[in-house]
Structure 1
Amino acid sequence: MNSTTCGADGPAVSIVVPVRNEADNIAPLVAEIVAALDGRWAHEIIYVNDGSTDATADRLTALMASLPQLRHVRHEASCGQSAAVRTGVRFARGAMIATLDGDGQNNPQFLRELIARLEQGGGRIGLVAGQRVGRKDTGFKRFQSKVANRVRNAILHDGTRDTGCGLKAFPREVFLSLPYFDGLHRFLPALVRREGFEIAYVDVIDRPRHAGVSNYGFFDRLWVGIMDLAGVWWLIRRKKSKPIATEVARHVG
């Protein structure tokens, strides 16, 4: 096995890619991820196939024959992006996790800076979040994203201008300690800050989608998103400071 794929104790970093019906984007994106990480970190690439009905599974199976670091985890039915990310993190063997969207709009070259910033954090940083520059989405999608980000930031004060960017890096144990709900990925900065960690940001250049169309819509999540926002606000308000505890030495004699 290639030494850049897994070390003696497994990969240093796990790349999690949630996908639904992205067959034509898989091969070019996997090649870019490998090129970005090979020789830098021992890694694995986990594609979480969120109930795809196209040739996504076949394309992954074909690639896995020549790429031992590529893994395929499948949801029998679509469960949503947050569920797909969480499944990938649960299956991951790396202590560090990095995520990106499977449509090709997130450039894997930025994974290097995200992972490096997380390593340099020395345990203080719980999330490194990509912030998109020069977005290539439609005008309506950019507008709805801007409104959603402003409303979220006004209520949660998470200091993040763009929570929708798929490029993120975080310690596996931090992510798994967070309260889980559908839509979690949109509120990671607020929830990570709630646990006492710092957030780092990296500006990333957005790209046009390589092929296909978006599979996660806006209107089907509008009211759910409002309820999620209210729920996260409540969680933050109810958070108590972590107790500082010291062991009392036993007196002998």
Structure 2
Amino acid sequence: MTQISVVIPARNEAENIITLVEDIDRALAALGGFEIIVVDDASTDASVAVLRKRAQSMPHLRVLTHDRSGGQSAAVHSGVLASRGAVICTLDGDGQNPAEELPHLLAPILGDATGRIGLVAGQRVARQDTWSKKAASKFANGLRGWMLQDGTRDTGCGLKAFRREAFLALPYFNHMHRYLPALFARDGWAIAHVDVTHRARGAGRSNYSNLQRAAVGVVDLIGVAWLLRRRKISTVLPDDLR
């Protein structure tokens, strides 16, 4: 029985993706009952070919493909829709999120006797990125935290674990993956945080630039702030008032 689904959004990561998949397989071997879903977001390199070849000897590896690029949030959403596990883990396809962190990420939600934790958010320490990327991220996280009060210092970290049904109940929009703590809290879920390590990219280059992130970030931030303010809280009336 599949308990955990690991969803990896990826685009043009042929040089990194197999190592990452094999690292995940080793990291979760002791847990059992998991699947790995790589959602290829219309890669133009050999990503799909190398994944399908590896899947021949790894039956719990599933490969989904987008015929055109939809972005990271679209890839995550496709993977969650196709998943069989009640708990989802995500991490980036470039290998910068170490797979060894997955058991630490899963521990709070799998051990949650109350059922209140909806999301476990990884927060990178000793981040292995360029100075400009770290500076841009620090500014964006500070602004986002001030506006949304989501209590998370690093929402851009790809390492996350969450309840599948809770995720699918969230409003879906492009770039939503950057706002999961605020969106889960909006729906009344508790958020747990886990510090995670970070690696330098092994090969290839990022599919996003600081300018691209900034251009869409302002509009997204305003939209999410609006969603939080407009949240409707349902009420249950006593039987005699229905």
TM-score (norm 2): 0.96
Q: Which residue of 1 aligns with 2:152?
A: 160
Residue type of the alignment partner of 2:144: R
2:92 to 90, 101, 107: 101
Shift of residue 118 of structure 1?
Answer: 0.8
1:120 to 87, 111, 116: 111
Shift of residue 91 of structure 1?
Answer: 0.5
- Per-residue CA deviation, residues 99-130 of structure 1 (Å, 9 max, x unaligned), is 00011110111110111211122320110000
Shift of residue 246 of structure 1?
Answer: 4.8
Residue type of the alignment partner of 2:160: K
Higher-Rg structure is 1
Moved more, 213-222 or 184-193: 213-222
1:84, 1:229 → 2: CA distance? 20
Q: List structure 1 segments (4+ residues) > 6 angstroms apart after TM superposition.
A: none
Query: Is 1:196 the counterpart of 2:192 in the alignment?
Result: no
1:68 to 51, 54, 59: 59
Residue type of the alignment partner of 2:32: W
1:216, 1:91 → 2: CA distance? 26
Query: Is 1:135 the counterpart of 2:105 in the alignment?
Result: no
Q: Structure 2 vs 1, CA of residues 95 and 248 (structure 1 numbering), >3 Å: closer, same or farther?
A: farther
1:194, 1:211 → 2: CA distance? 38
Query: Is 1:17 the counterpart of 2:1 in the alignment?
Result: no
2:60, 2:32 → 1: CA distance? 12
1:81, 1:116 → 2: CA distance? 25
Shift of residue 183 of structure 1?
Answer: 0.7
1:245, 1:136 → 2: CA distance? 52
Residue type of the alignment partner of 2:30: G
Residue type of the alignment partner of 1:168: K
Q: Which residue of 2 aligns with 1:33?
A: 24
Q: Which residue of 2 aligns with 1:47?
A: 38
- Report sequence identity in percent: 53
Flag structure 1 segments of 5+ consecutive residues without an equivalent.
1-6
Shift of residue 210 of structure 1?
Answer: 1.5
1:60, 1:248 → 2: CA distance? 59
Q: Which residue of 2 aligns with 1:3?
A: none
Shift of residue 247 of structure 1?
Answer: 4.3
Q: Which residue of 2 aligns with 1:237?
A: 229
Query: Is 1:219 the counterpart of 2:219 in the alignment?
Result: no
2:136 to 133, 136, 144: 144
1:80, 1:111 → 2: CA distance? 23
Residue type of the alignment partner of 1:201: H
Moved more, 119-128 or 131-140: 119-128
Moved more, 18-27 or 210-219: 210-219
1:245, 1:114 → 2: CA distance? 38
Shift of residue 245 of structure 1?
Answer: 4.1
